[in-house]
Homo-oligomer: A and B are copies of this chain.
Amino acid sequence: MTEHRRTNDPQGVRRRIVDAAYDAFVNQGYIATGMAQLREKASVSGGAMAHHFPAKRDLGLAVIRDRVAEAVQRTWIQPLNGCADAPTAIDRIFEEIIGELMHKDAVSGCPLNNMVMEVSQHDPEMRDILGGVFGAWHDALSAKFKADMASGRLGDLNPSSLATLVIASYSGAMAMAKARQDVGPLIDCRVELARLMAARYRLAAGR
């Protein structure tokens, strides 16, 4: 790994640090992770670390802004925009995450939820950014329900509170899966949300 220490590629160095930090914060926790461990994992010098991230908090903010927000974008917002309707998207997203977790050794939980649990009471700025990530997720899902309603695909529902229920059940099921180290809660929620969506969409179709 010596060549990493000698390169003159500030963006590459920064990215390596943020990658190492994201992995460590999600898997072992923000508070439990030390800067020395991250320097080692990213194989960067103390000087490079201090240049990019003078304090762990700066790194926490970068991880939330760059990686946690991106994870929600990739896992939820892009599939929502790419599917015909919200129920199809929600079912595929659950299918995808269940498949992913079944191939992993450990269930590390939802990156957003994990960070919220650790930092939101200590740090108002981090909390606001995390709240904004939840907000973007909620807005994308509400917008999809509204678009489905506008195209006559379903009827009597409140897009905003239904979006909250879907996000809450996903986040909570990830926490339960983490506690049990088992994907069962996600499988249960996938089935129940599919039934709930089918009922709401049938209702509309029957009008």
Say yes or no for A102: interface residue by CB 8 A criterion. no
Which residues of A from 67 to 110 have beta carbons under 8 Å from B?
106, 108-109
> Would B162 and A192 count as touching, CB distance under 8 A?
yes
Asked if A131 lies at the interface with its beta carbon under 8 angstroms from chain B, I say: yes
Which residue in chain B gives the minimum CB-CB distance to A109?
Answer: B117
Name A140-172 residues within 8 Å CB distance of B: 158, 160-162, 164-165, 167-172
Contact A193 to B165, CB < 8 A, known contacts A117-B114, A118-B118, A171-B176 = yes
The reply on A43 being an interface residue by CB < 8 A is: no
* Residues of the B chain whose Cβ atoms lie less than 8 Å from the Cβ of A189: 161, 164-165, 168
Please, which residue of chain B has its CB at the minimum distance from the CB of A164? B188
Hey, which chain B residues are within 8 Å of A37, CB to CB?
none
Q: Is the CB of A106 within 8 A of B121?
A: yes
How many angstroms from the CA of A159 to the CA of B139 in the assembled complex? Answer: 31
Q: How far is the CA of A179 from the CA of B28 in the complex (A)?
A: 20
Number of copies of this chain in the oligomer? Answer: 2
Q: Is A196 an interface residue (CB 8 A)?
A: yes
The prevalent SS among residues of A at the interface is helix
Distance in Å: Cβ of A155 to nearest Cβ of chain B: 13
Quick check: A180 and B131 within 8 Å, CB to CB? yes
Known A169-B168, A188-B165, A196-B196; contact A116-B179, beta-carbon cutoff 8 A: yes
Residue-by-residue, is A167-190 near B (CB-CB < 8 Å gives 1, otherwise 0)?
A: 111111101101111001100110
Which A residues form the contact surface with B (CB < 8 A)? Answer: 27-29, 31-32, 106, 108-109, 113-114, 116-118, 120-122, 127, 130-131, 134, 158, 160-162, 164-165, 167-173, 175-176, 178-181, 184-185, 188-189, 191-193, 196, 199
In the assembled complex, 11 residue pairs joining A and B whose CB atoms fall closer than 8 Å, in A order, are: A29-B121, A32-B122, A108-B121, A127-B179, A131-B179, A158-B191, A164-B185, A168-B173, A171-B175, A172-B175, A196-B196
